[in-house]
Amino acid sequence: MNERAETAAQLASADTPLVLQRVLFAGPTPDTDADLYATIAGGGDRTRTSVHARHGATIDTDTYFGRVPAPYFERWTTVTSVDLTFDFETTGRAHAVVRGCDSDGQVHVVARLELEGAGAVTSTVPLDRYSDGGSLWVGFIADDGDLTISDAVWSTTAPHRIRAAAVAICTFNRPADCVATLTALASDQLTRERLTAVYVVDQGTDAVCDEPGFDQTSAALGERLTYIRQPNLGGAGGFTRGISEAVAHEEDLDLILMDDDIRCEPETPLRLAAFASVTPDPTIVGAQMLYLMNPTRLHVGAEYADLHTLRAGRWAKNALHDADMLTRRQDRPADAGYNGWWTCLLPAEVITALGLPLPMFFQWDDIEYGIRAAGTAGVQTVTLPGAAVWHMDFSRKDNDDWTMYFSIRNSLITAALHSDLDVKSLSTRMFREISQHIVAMQYGLAYTMIRGIEDFLTGPDILADGGRTALVDIRRERAAFGETVMHRESDVPGVNYRELPVHPAGFEPAKDRFDVVLAKRAATQLAGRVVRGCVAIPPTDAHWWHVSLFDQAVVADASGNGVRLRTRDTGLARTLGARNLKVRWAFRADAANVRKAFQAALPTLTSPANWQRLFTTE
């Protein structure tokens, strides 16, 4: 262990408490819905760490951020009990009630604590009945006087050695968002003191260091902050640079990766680091994602990737999906296959055992790493309820952009490395999906997918420059397809968008008839037997089997940033159809050998030497 690691790791005495999570009564910013933290009935005032309840009022932390995910501690850590500690002051009688629930949501009282005058209270709760599910939380009742609660925490006895924790943020041309995240970390005293280092890897041309507020935040973080500029190597390259820098300075480390465009809850790094400190084996601990545009809704409780269908973001058994966390509990534990790197903790031992991420540039790098951790080293990923950040809703992102190239290419690389790669099934599935895009007049998207498959088939050499050439090429090539261009509603070429008839979709064809309908749509399009003129189609109705009925359609983008004009082009459809068929047969012929090539190249691709070459190549 190097000198910095010796000073960063902390030795704890036998009775030192480890705070697992604070009982917070409000969010980090005034616009955060406080009911995600605590509810107040009967009148009261709150700050982040204290609450004042008036006579007769009730405070309840049976909330998203208020509950202790007891089954996760019982199942994946060495914790056998937790201590609730808080300060109180009351002008009359009051009491606190510790409650729990089981996997079916049935609530029971764990302890009742009478409060009178002022003082501090500690209540110990055994974790011996939550392996199947449930939660713990506390409520406070001001019976016949005012009641103030402050500095409430859930804790346990600290392990002998508390590991260092650091944060690495990858950013590209989001300086305001990045500074906001840094400010959130710096403004919370406990978080700031817990972190030994914060690495910012800036790959953009709009430098974070020039953003207003950066100097103040940098001063607050002091020597903890390391700011790095490098060429754009995508999220994979940015995070890998942060990983490389962190483990070079601290070998006994838990590193928390963070996106630049999140709204940060500074409590979350504390909860991730605390949980990781009490796991018996090195464990990847991930935060959940709440939607930025719908901030009380949970993206998914835990997720996995289906490599047989190349689909990520499948919600795990027992996991909630798109759920309103003001009304739902996560009572049953869910097993994650990976965790997105919007915020995710990687222990240094895992990095040492696995090597670095693949130089995929963007998309699936976090997924591949989580799958590799489980398959190669037996490392569990735990997505921890009550630890979350806010991130842009995925439903607000349209898939018709250059990122689809990396998604299809990198999902194939991941499947080649970590599955049996059912070549026949995958070739049929991809051929069908590309054909659907062609009949939907998404010619650029079809082309993008074909290019991703073609480049996968070239083998590991496609990753030689970390994806920089592929990014430039696919963005340039997509520009040749008119429907890839986003327009303002008032500026659609040759069309008055506001006067177009709106055509919602009819009934969806039966799944077992999709291929028949697809063939018919292709034939009628090539023959010109479509509805003439231009129509408007909402994004929720832009299914391939509906859009393909028309000669021209203006489709609103799912992001809400504009519209796209899709125009039938039979010549382009024939060209792409032929290329789609060609790549299908090439995939069937070559994919097995390409799979072996990627497996053989994995140690070299993920080596520090390869990444150092990429970091220093302009």
In angstroms, the CA 356 to CA 334 distance is 27
* pLDDT at residue 5 tops 80: no
Determine contact, residues 436/482, Cβ cutoff 8 Å.
no
Q: How far apart (Å, rounded) are the C-alpha atoms in residues 238 and 171?
A: 7
Cα–Cα distance for residue pair 108/128, rounded to 1 Å: 14
DSSP one-letter code for 197:
E
147/55 Cα distance (integer angstroms): 7
4: confidence class by pLDDT, cuts 50, 70, 90 = very low
Average pLDDT score over residue span 132-141: 97
| pLDDT per position as a tens digit, 216-233 | 999 999 999 999 999 999
The pLDDT score that the predictor gives to residue 504 is: 86
Both tokens of 366, joined, read 């976090």
Tens-digit pLDDT profile for residues 596-610: 999 999 999 999 999
Does residue 2 register a pLDDT over 50? no
For residues 243 and 255, the answer to whether their CB atoms sit within 8 Å is: yes
- DSSP-derived letter for residue 375 is H
CA 226 to chain CA centroid, nearest Å = 24
68: amino acid identity, one letter: V
Task: Give the residue-averaged pLDDT of 173-193.
Answer: 96
pLDDT of residue 614 exceeding 50: yes
pLDDT (mean) for 473-494: 94
How many CA atoms within 13 Å lie on the side-chain side of 526? 14
Q: What is the distance between the alpha carbons of residues 358 and 466, in angstroms, rounded to a whole number?
A: 9
Residue of 156, 151, 104 whose CA lies nearest to 127:
156
Which pLDDT does position 503 carry in this prediction? 87
Which residues in 42-163 belong to E strands, given as ranges?
44-46, 50-53, 58-60, 81-90, 94-101, 107-115, 118-126, 135-142, 147-157, 161-162
pLDDT band of residue 322 (cuts 50, 70, 90) is: very high
Residue 332 · residue 104 · CB < 8 Å: no
Q: What is the mean pLDDT of residues 281-297?
A: 96
Question: In degrees to the nearest 10, what's the CA dihedral of 589, 595, 598, 600?
Answer: -110
- C-beta separation of 177 from 260 below 8 A: yes
Residues with active-site annotation: 366
Report the pLDDT value the prediction gives residue 361, as an integer from 0 to 100: 97
- pLDDT above 70: residue 7: no
Sign of CA dihedral 335, 339, 345, 351: positive
Residue 563 β-bridge partners: 487, 556
Q: How many percent of the chain have pLDDT more than 70?
A: 98
Per-residue pLDDT at 13: 62
| CA-derived radius of gyration, the chain | 27
More confident residue, 392 or 171: 171
Lowest mean pLDDT among 92-101, 236-245, 389-398: 389-398
Per-residue pLDDT for 161 more than 90? Answer: no
Q: What is the pLDDT of residues 417-427, one digit of tens each?
A: 999 999 999 99
**Average pLDDT, rounded, for the chain:** 94
Read off the pLDDT of residues 557-593 as tens digits, 9 standing for 90 and up: 887 889 999 999 999 999 999 999 999 999 999 999 9
Tokens encoding 371: 């799958």
DSSP 87-98: EEEESS-EEEEE
Q: Domain spanning 161-396: which CATH class is it, in words?
A: alpha beta
CA dist list (Å): 34 to 26, 227, 329: 5, 33, 16
| pLDDT, position 12 | 61
Neighbours of 498 (CB within 10 A): 9
Which tens digits make up the pLDDT trace of 518-557?
Answer: 999 999 999 999 999 999 999 889 999 999 999 999 998 8
48-107 pLDDT tens trace: 999 999 999 999 999 999 999 999 999 999 999 999 999 999 999 999 999 999 999 999
Percent of the chain with pLDDT over 90: 89
Task: State the distance between the two ends of the chain, measured CA to CA, in whole angstroms.
Answer: 33
490 has pLDDT over 70:
yes
Q: Are strands 135-142 and 164-171 parallel, antiparallel or unpaired?
A: unpaired
CB 87 within 8 Å of CB 149? yes
For the segment 452-461, the average pLDDT, to the nearest whole number, is 98
Q: Where are the domains of the chain?
A: 17-157, 161-396, 403-572
CATH topology of domain 17-157: Jelly Rolls (2.60.120)
Residue 330 has pLDDT above 60, yes or no: yes
> Which of these, 450, 389, 94, lies nearest to 261 by C-alpha position?
389
Count Cβ neighbours within 10 Å for each residue of 557-588 and write b for 16 or more, e otherwise: bbeeeebbbbbbbeebbeebbebbeebbeebe
Q: Count of CB atoms within 10 A of residue 596's CB?
A: 12
Which pair of structure tokens corresponds to residue 287? 């935060």
Q: How confident is the model at residue 507 (pLDDT cuts 50, 70, 90)?
A: confident
- The pLDDT of 291-307, averaged and rounded, is 96
| DSSP structural state of residue 357 | P
d(CA 406, CA 426): 17
